[in-house]
Protein backbone atom coordinates (compact mmCIF):
# COMPACT_ATOMS: atom_id res chain seq x y z
CA UNK A 1 0.00 0.00 0.00
CA UNK A 2 1.05 3.52 -0.78
CA UNK A 3 4.34 2.48 -2.23
CA UNK A 4 5.74 5.12 -4.48
CA UNK A 5 5.74 4.17 -8.16
CA UNK A 6 6.90 7.25 -10.00
CA UNK A 7 8.46 10.45 -8.81
CA UNK A 8 9.51 13.47 -10.83
CA UNK A 9 11.90 15.94 -9.27
CA UNK A 10 12.34 19.50 -10.52
CA UNK A 11 11.40 18.46 -14.01
CA UNK A 12 11.98 21.27 -16.50
CA UNK A 13 11.63 21.47 -20.22
CA UNK A 14 12.24 24.56 -22.29
CA UNK A 15 11.63 25.17 -25.97
CA UNK A 16 13.56 27.64 -28.09
CA UNK A 17 16.48 29.76 -27.01
CA UNK A 18 17.23 33.29 -25.89
CA UNK A 19 14.41 35.76 -25.55
CA UNK A 20 11.80 33.56 -27.16
CA UNK A 21 12.54 30.69 -24.80
CA UNK A 22 9.45 29.11 -23.29
CA UNK A 23 9.57 27.14 -20.08
CA UNK A 24 6.81 24.69 -20.95
CA UNK A 25 7.45 22.65 -17.82
CA UNK A 26 9.00 24.62 -15.01
CA UNK A 27 10.49 22.85 -12.03
CA UNK A 28 7.71 20.38 -11.55
CA UNK A 29 7.83 17.77 -8.77
CA UNK A 30 5.24 15.20 -7.76
CA UNK A 31 4.89 11.51 -7.13
CA UNK A 32 2.35 8.80 -7.88
CA UNK A 33 1.81 5.79 -5.64
CA UNK A 34 1.00 2.27 -6.68
CA UNK A 35 -2.68 1.85 -7.43
CA UNK A 36 -3.31 5.56 -7.20
CA UNK A 37 -5.30 7.65 -9.64
CA UNK A 38 -4.18 11.24 -10.04
CA UNK A 39 -4.94 14.04 -12.48
CA UNK A 40 -2.61 16.63 -13.86
CA UNK A 41 -5.16 19.37 -14.41
CA UNK A 42 -4.50 22.40 -16.55
CA UNK A 43 -5.82 24.50 -19.38
CA UNK A 44 -4.34 24.53 -22.87
CA UNK A 45 -0.74 25.72 -22.81
CA UNK A 46 -0.25 24.86 -19.16
CA UNK A 47 2.45 22.31 -19.96
CA UNK A 48 0.48 19.27 -18.92
CA UNK A 49 0.89 17.40 -22.19
CA UNK A 50 4.61 18.19 -22.29
CA UNK A 51 4.91 16.74 -18.79
CA UNK A 52 3.18 13.60 -20.00
CA UNK A 53 5.55 13.31 -22.96
CA UNK A 54 8.53 13.73 -20.65
CA UNK A 55 7.31 10.92 -18.40
CA UNK A 56 6.68 8.73 -21.44
CA UNK A 57 10.22 9.30 -22.68
CA UNK A 58 8.91 10.74 -25.90
CA UNK A 59 10.78 13.95 -25.19
CA UNK A 60 13.99 14.50 -23.20
CA UNK A 61 13.81 16.91 -20.24
CA UNK A 62 16.02 19.98 -20.05
CA UNK A 63 16.72 19.27 -16.41
CA UNK A 64 15.33 17.37 -13.47
CA UNK A 65 14.90 13.69 -12.75
CA UNK A 66 12.29 11.01 -13.36
CA UNK A 67 12.45 8.14 -10.87
CA UNK A 68 10.45 5.01 -11.57
CA UNK A 69 10.42 2.32 -8.89
CA UNK A 70 13.45 3.86 -7.17
CA UNK A 71 15.45 3.85 -10.40
CA UNK A 72 16.52 7.03 -12.15
CA UNK A 73 15.30 6.63 -15.72
CA UNK A 74 15.86 10.25 -16.80
CA UNK A 75 18.66 9.37 -19.17
CA UNK A 76 18.00 5.80 -20.24
CA UNK A 77 18.43 5.55 -23.98
CA UNK A 78 19.26 1.98 -24.94
CA UNK A 79 16.49 0.11 -26.70
CA UNK A 80 16.44 -2.57 -24.06
CA UNK A 81 16.02 -0.10 -21.19
CA UNK A 82 13.35 1.82 -23.08
CA UNK A 83 11.42 -1.34 -23.89
CA UNK A 84 11.56 -2.33 -20.23
CA UNK A 85 10.29 1.08 -19.23
CA UNK A 86 7.45 1.11 -21.75
CA UNK A 87 6.42 -2.31 -20.50
CA UNK A 88 5.58 -0.56 -17.22
CA UNK A 89 4.52 2.88 -18.38
CA UNK A 90 1.99 3.19 -21.17
CA UNK A 91 -0.42 5.76 -22.56
CA UNK A 92 -3.68 6.40 -24.31
CA UNK A 93 -4.14 9.66 -26.13
CA UNK A 94 -6.73 12.27 -26.81
CA UNK A 95 -7.63 11.57 -30.37
CA UNK A 96 -8.64 7.96 -30.96
CA UNK A 97 -8.69 8.68 -34.70
CA UNK A 98 -5.10 9.85 -34.82
CA UNK A 99 -3.92 7.09 -32.49
CA UNK A 100 -4.47 4.55 -35.24
CA UNK A 101 -2.42 3.94 -38.30
CA UNK A 102 -5.20 3.90 -40.88
CA UNK A 103 -3.43 1.31 -43.01
CA UNK A 104 -3.56 -1.50 -40.49
CA UNK A 105 -6.32 -3.59 -39.00
CA UNK A 106 -7.21 -3.75 -35.33
CA UNK A 107 -5.65 -7.23 -35.17
CA UNK A 108 -2.33 -5.89 -36.37
CA UNK A 109 -2.38 -2.99 -33.93
CA UNK A 110 -3.05 -5.29 -31.00
CA UNK A 111 -0.49 -7.83 -32.21
CA UNK A 112 2.14 -5.09 -32.14
CA UNK A 113 1.54 -4.70 -28.42
CA UNK A 114 3.10 -8.12 -27.86
CA UNK A 115 6.49 -6.57 -28.53
CA UNK A 116 6.21 -5.43 -24.93
CA UNK A 117 5.08 -8.75 -23.51
CA UNK A 118 7.81 -10.88 -21.98
CA UNK A 119 8.19 -14.53 -23.06
CA UNK A 120 6.52 -13.80 -26.38
CA UNK A 121 3.42 -16.00 -26.57
CA UNK A 122 2.64 -18.22 -29.55
CA UNK A 123 0.30 -17.05 -32.28
CA UNK A 124 -2.64 -19.01 -30.89
CA UNK A 125 -2.04 -17.66 -27.40
CA UNK A 126 -1.83 -14.14 -28.80
CA UNK A 127 -5.12 -14.47 -30.60
CA UNK A 128 -6.68 -15.75 -27.38
CA UNK A 129 -5.30 -12.87 -25.31
CA UNK A 130 -6.40 -10.33 -27.93
CA UNK A 131 -9.93 -11.73 -27.96
CA UNK A 132 -10.14 -11.77 -24.17
CA UNK A 133 -8.96 -8.21 -23.87
CA UNK A 134 -11.44 -7.02 -26.49
CA UNK A 135 -14.23 -8.77 -24.61
CA UNK A 136 -13.20 -7.09 -21.37
CA UNK A 137 -13.48 -3.65 -22.95
CA UNK A 138 -16.95 -4.52 -24.17
CA UNK A 139 -16.23 -5.20 -27.82
CA UNK A 140 -17.09 -8.22 -29.92
CA UNK A 141 -13.76 -9.55 -31.28
CA UNK A 142 -15.33 -11.03 -34.41
CA UNK A 143 -16.86 -7.67 -35.21
CA UNK A 144 -13.79 -5.48 -34.83
CA UNK A 145 -10.65 -7.57 -35.31
CA UNK A 146 -10.45 -7.24 -39.07
CA UNK A 147 -11.74 -3.70 -39.24
CA UNK A 148 -9.69 -0.67 -40.17
CA UNK A 149 -9.83 2.39 -37.92
CA UNK A 150 -12.11 4.36 -40.25
CA UNK A 151 -14.78 1.67 -39.92
CA UNK A 152 -15.01 2.17 -36.15
CA UNK A 153 -16.61 4.85 -34.01
CA UNK A 154 -14.57 7.08 -31.70
CA UNK A 155 -15.75 5.23 -28.60
CA UNK A 156 -14.90 1.87 -30.14
CA UNK A 157 -11.44 3.08 -31.06
CA UNK A 158 -10.72 4.32 -27.57
CA UNK A 159 -11.89 0.94 -26.24
CA UNK A 160 -9.43 -0.76 -28.59
CA UNK A 161 -6.67 1.43 -27.21
CA UNK A 162 -7.72 0.19 -23.78
CA UNK A 163 -7.60 -3.43 -25.00
CA UNK A 164 -4.03 -2.68 -26.04
CA UNK A 165 -3.34 -1.57 -22.47
CA UNK A 166 -4.88 -4.78 -21.15
CA UNK A 167 -2.43 -6.78 -23.26
CA UNK A 168 0.58 -4.85 -21.98
CA UNK A 169 -0.69 -4.46 -18.40
CA UNK A 170 1.61 -1.60 -17.43
CA UNK A 171 2.01 -0.41 -13.86
CA UNK A 172 1.31 3.18 -14.81
CA UNK A 173 -1.07 4.46 -17.47
CA UNK A 174 -0.90 8.03 -18.69
CA UNK A 175 -4.34 8.95 -20.03
CA UNK A 176 -4.01 12.19 -22.00
CA UNK A 177 -7.52 13.66 -22.45
CA UNK A 178 -8.90 10.18 -23.10
CA UNK A 179 -12.51 11.29 -23.54
CA UNK A 180 -12.33 14.82 -24.87
CA UNK A 181 -13.28 13.68 -28.34
CA UNK A 182 -15.91 11.22 -27.23
CA UNK A 183 -19.59 11.95 -26.75
CA UNK A 184 -21.00 12.38 -23.28
CA UNK A 185 -23.10 9.24 -23.58
CA UNK A 186 -20.09 6.97 -24.25
CA UNK A 187 -17.62 8.88 -22.07
CA UNK A 188 -18.76 7.30 -18.83
CA UNK A 189 -18.19 3.84 -20.31
CA UNK A 190 -14.55 4.61 -21.11
CA UNK A 191 -13.93 6.23 -17.73
CA UNK A 192 -15.44 3.32 -15.83
CA UNK A 193 -13.24 0.89 -17.78
CA UNK A 194 -10.25 2.95 -16.74
CA UNK A 195 -11.33 2.96 -13.11
CA UNK A 196 -11.74 -0.82 -13.29
CA UNK A 197 -8.10 -1.16 -14.35
CA UNK A 198 -7.06 -0.06 -10.90
CA UNK A 199 -9.49 -2.42 -9.20
CA UNK A 200 -8.37 -5.42 -11.24
CA UNK A 201 -4.66 -4.85 -11.73
CA UNK A 202 -3.82 -2.23 -9.11
CA UNK A 203 -2.75 -0.04 -12.03
CA UNK A 204 -1.83 3.57 -11.33
CA UNK A 205 -3.41 6.08 -13.67
CA UNK A 206 -2.45 9.64 -14.38
CA UNK A 207 -5.11 11.62 -16.20
CA UNK A 208 -3.95 14.63 -18.16
CA UNK A 209 -6.97 16.85 -18.67
CA UNK A 210 -8.59 20.26 -18.57
CA UNK A 211 -11.89 18.75 -17.50
CA UNK A 212 -12.32 19.42 -13.80
CA UNK A 213 -15.44 17.31 -13.53
CA UNK A 214 -13.61 14.32 -14.96
CA UNK A 215 -10.62 14.92 -12.69
CA UNK A 216 -12.79 15.09 -9.63
CA UNK A 217 -14.84 12.02 -10.58
CA UNK A 218 -11.83 9.81 -11.23
CA UNK A 219 -8.95 10.92 -9.07
CA UNK A 220 -7.62 10.54 -5.56
CA UNK A 221 -5.27 13.46 -5.87
CA UNK A 222 -5.04 16.45 -8.19
CA UNK A 223 -2.06 18.43 -9.41
CA UNK A 224 -3.19 21.81 -10.74
CA UNK A 225 -0.85 23.15 -13.38
CA UNK A 226 -0.62 26.67 -14.71
CA UNK A 227 2.09 28.23 -16.90
CA UNK A 228 4.35 25.21 -16.55
CA UNK A 229 4.20 25.12 -12.77
CA UNK A 230 2.19 23.06 -10.33
CA UNK A 231 0.29 25.66 -8.32
CA UNK A 232 -1.64 23.38 -6.02
CA UNK A 233 -1.75 19.69 -5.29
CA UNK A 234 -3.53 17.47 -2.86
CA UNK A 235 -6.60 15.42 -2.14
CA UNK A 236 -9.22 15.85 -4.88
CA UNK A 237 -12.13 16.33 -2.51
CA UNK A 238 -10.23 18.95 -0.52
CA UNK A 239 -9.16 20.94 -3.55
CA UNK A 240 -12.65 20.99 -5.03
CA UNK A 241 -14.37 22.01 -1.81
CA UNK A 242 -11.67 24.26 -0.43
CA UNK A 243 -9.19 25.49 -3.04
CA UNK A 244 -6.23 27.45 -1.65
CA UNK A 245 -4.46 28.82 -4.69
CA UNK A 246 -5.93 31.81 -6.49
CA UNK A 247 -5.66 30.15 -9.90
CA UNK A 248 -7.50 27.05 -8.67
CA UNK A 249 -10.16 29.25 -7.13
CA UNK A 250 -10.68 31.10 -10.41
CA UNK A 251 -10.81 27.84 -12.32
CA UNK A 252 -13.45 26.40 -10.05
CA UNK A 253 -15.43 29.60 -10.22
CA UNK A 254 -15.46 29.56 -14.01
CA UNK A 255 -16.37 25.95 -14.56
CA UNK A 256 -20.10 25.52 -15.04
CA UNK A 257 -21.68 23.34 -12.36
CA UNK A 258 -25.27 22.26 -11.89
CA UNK A 259 -26.24 23.26 -8.40
CA UNK A 260 -24.81 26.73 -8.15
CA UNK A 261 -25.74 29.31 -10.73
CA UNK A 262 -23.28 31.85 -12.13
CA UNK A 263 -23.61 35.53 -11.46
CA UNK A 264 -23.67 37.04 -14.92
Partner 1 sequence: MKDILILLFRSKRFIVGFVLFLGILSFALIGPILNPKNPFQMVGGLFSPPSDRFILGTDNLGRDVFTQLMYGTRTSLLIGCTAGLIATTIGVTIGSIAGYKGGIIEEVLMGITNVFITIPSIVILILLSIAIKARSAVVMGLVIGITAWPWTARAVRAQTSSLKTREHIDIARITGFSSLEMIIYEILPYMFSYIFMAFILQFSGGILNEATLSMLGLGPFQTVSLGVMLHWSLLWEAVRTGAWWAFIPPVICLSMTTFSLMSMNTGMDEVFNPRLRRS
Partner 2 sequence: MGNLLTAIDLRAYYKTVQGEEIKAVDEVSLEVREGEVLGIAGESGCGKSTLASVLAFTVIPPLYVVSGEVRANGTNILTLDKETLRREIKGKYISIVPQGAMNSLNPTSRIKNFVIDVLKEHFPEMSKEEALQRARERFEALSLPPRILDAYPHQLSGGMKQRTVTVISTLLNPKVLIADEPTSALDVSSQKIVIKLLVELLRKQIIKSVVFITHELPLLRHFANRIAVMYAGKIVEVGPMESIIFEPLHPYSKLLISSVLVPESGMKSKRIEAIPGVPPNLKDPPTGCRFHPRCPSYIEGICNTSVPPFITVKSDHIVSCFLYGGEHG
Contact by Cβ (8 Å): 175, 205: yes
Q: To the nearest 10°, the Cα dihedral for 185, 187, 192, 195? A: -160
Closest distance of CB 189 from partner 2, Å? 3
Strand-pairing partners, residue 72, are: 67
- Given 30, 68, 100, 207, the residue binding partner 1 (CB under 8 A): 100
Element (H, E) at 44: none
Could you tell me where the DSSP H helices lie in the chain? Answer: 48-55, 79-88, 106-112, 123-136, 141-144, 154-168, 184-201, 212-218, 236-241, 246-254
CA distances from 159 to 12, 88, 95, 152, 155 (A): 33, 20, 12, 10, 6
Residue of the chain from 26, 47, 50, 93 that contacts partner 1 (CB under 8 A): 93
Q: Is residue 118 involved in binding partner 2 (CB under 8 A)?
A: no
Residue 99, interface with partner 1 (CB under 8 A)?
Answer: yes
By CB under 8 A, is residue 135 in contact with partner 2?
no
Query: Residue 95's binding partner, choosing from partner 2, partner 1, none, with beta-carbon cut-off 5 to 8 A by kind?
Result: partner 1
d(CA 244, CA 140): 47
215 binds partner 2 (CB under 8 A): yes
Nearer to partner 1, 103 or 262 (CB): 103
Which CB, 39 or 90, lies closer to partner 2?
Answer: 39
Quote the DSSP letter at residue 245: S
Q: Which residues bind partner 2 (CB under 8 A)?
A: 43-44, 153, 155, 183-192, 210-217, 236-237, 240-241, 250-252, 254-262, 264
Q: Which residues bind partner 1 (CB under 8 A)?
A: 53, 56-58, 79, 82-83, 86, 89-91, 93-95, 98-104, 112-113, 115-116, 161
Amino acid sequence: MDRELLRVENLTRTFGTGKSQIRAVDNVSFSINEGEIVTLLGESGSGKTTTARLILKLLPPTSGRIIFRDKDITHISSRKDLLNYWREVQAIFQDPFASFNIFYSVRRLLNNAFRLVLNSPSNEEREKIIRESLLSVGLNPDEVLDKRPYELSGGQKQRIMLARILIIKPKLLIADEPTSMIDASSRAGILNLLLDLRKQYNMSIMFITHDIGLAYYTSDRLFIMNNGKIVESGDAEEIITDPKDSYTKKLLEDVPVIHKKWEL
